[in-house]
Amino acid sequence: MPRPAIPQDLTELIGSLTAAARTAGPPGPAPDPHSAAPREASVGAAAAIEGPDAPAATAVSGTTALFAADGSVLPEDAPAVEPVTERTLFDLASVTKILTALTAATLIDDGMLDVHQPVRELMPAPHPDMTVHHLLTHTSGLPPVMPLWRMPGGREARLDAVRRATLDHAPGEAHAYSCIGFILLGALMEALTDTPLPELARRRVLDPAGATGVTWTPDTADAAHAAATEHQEDPPRGLVRGSTHDETAWSLGGAGNAGAFATLPGALAIGRILAGRAPGPRLSPAVRELLTADQLPGGPVTDAPWRQGLGLRIGQETAPGRLAEHVVGHPGFTGTSIHADPRTGTVAVLLTNRVHPYRSWFKVEAARRDLARLAFA
């Protein structure tokens, strides 16, 4: 039987996600909406598959918001209920780590940063054996997360807590995913260049790639039309929209682990960098190899279903079996992902707000697997 055309498949995939959200019913006013069993759905979604020799196949579906702060379904004519378009901003969550890793790669390529340099040579830090490589490969020993939003003081006080965090294990001893490690990496690059990370990523990665529609700080007009995320109670932010969903990154005003937003064209532009098809940044073959090759061959022990590049995941299990061993990228907690195959130049993007209105209400794992099959099988 011939394989259906990708545009048709993509439209059906995204449409089924958002249709399921509308038929799922409201999560409230249950006493504990987080206890409900999640279902495969998202209120809004956008996706794209692009090869090197043809225009991108894209699909959008759903609305930017569906639920009010109390969990009730918004009327279809409510101002907050806008159709998703290719220009809708989605919170990328941990897909931000791609931008952080690429920014670090440009500094390494320019000789401004040594991947094996101890962190304490670049900024005050109490751990003498921790290196930049440890931060980029999640082997630093730093904890996965820290409740920085509960800590008194401003950004510098919270970053100081990150620098002084107690390690879960010695650097290099184990591979354990750490948002805190990428927060420290972002702060390190800011100290090294005397430039805020969003501006540094803009100058060194996004502008050379010709990437528009990517920002850490949506302006007021764009924020009002961004895809809504979670109704948060801790911290007590209410319904989050156009502001970083990740509480830790939000408490820092954006960070290396999360906080970037992108439209569908913006996310595709990031994917083209991974695929080696963007006009810039021009990275040397040696540094591209660091990004896309396994940095932990033979150890340390890990149970992660992917191999670890320099900040990127390689061959992540988003399809039955692994993706092609050379597909690189990263997923995000809000229901996003960007993956690319540097050998074929193919890019696949999924943008959703599956955490709206609660993080445990919807999931998109099956959609990620289906998109991977369409793009990379």
For residue 360, the model assigns a pLDDT of: 87
Which residue carries 């990379």 as its tokens? 376
* pTM value surpassing 0.85: yes
Of 41-50, 115-124, 154-163, 295-304, the poorest mean pLDDT is in 295-304
Tens of pLDDT, residue by residue over 245-289, are: 999 999 999 899 999 999 999 999 999 999 999 999 999 999 999
Least Cα distance to 13 among 358, 348, 316, 269 occurs for 348
Compute φ and ψ for 221, nearest 5 degrees: -65, -45
Considering Cα of 67, then 72, then 77, then 80, what sign does the dihedral take?
Answer: negative
Q: Residues near 129 by Cβ (< 8 Å), separated by ≥ 6?
A: 118, 170, 171, 172
Tens of pLDDT, residue by residue over 68-104, are: 877 788 988 898 899 999 999 999 999 999 999 999 9
β-partners of residue 49 are 57, 348
Can you give the residue ranges of every domain in the chain? 99-196
Tens of pLDDT, residue by residue over 325-355, are: 789 999 999 999 999 999 999 999 999 999 9
**Contact assessment for residue 349 and residue 268, using Cβ atoms and an 8 Å cutoff:** yes
Tell me, letter by letter, the H, E, C secondary structure of 221-288.
Answer: HHHHCCCCCCEECCCCCEECCCCCCCHHHHHCCCCCCCCCEECHHHHHHHHHHHHCCCCCCCCCHHHH
Q: What is the length of the chain? A: 377
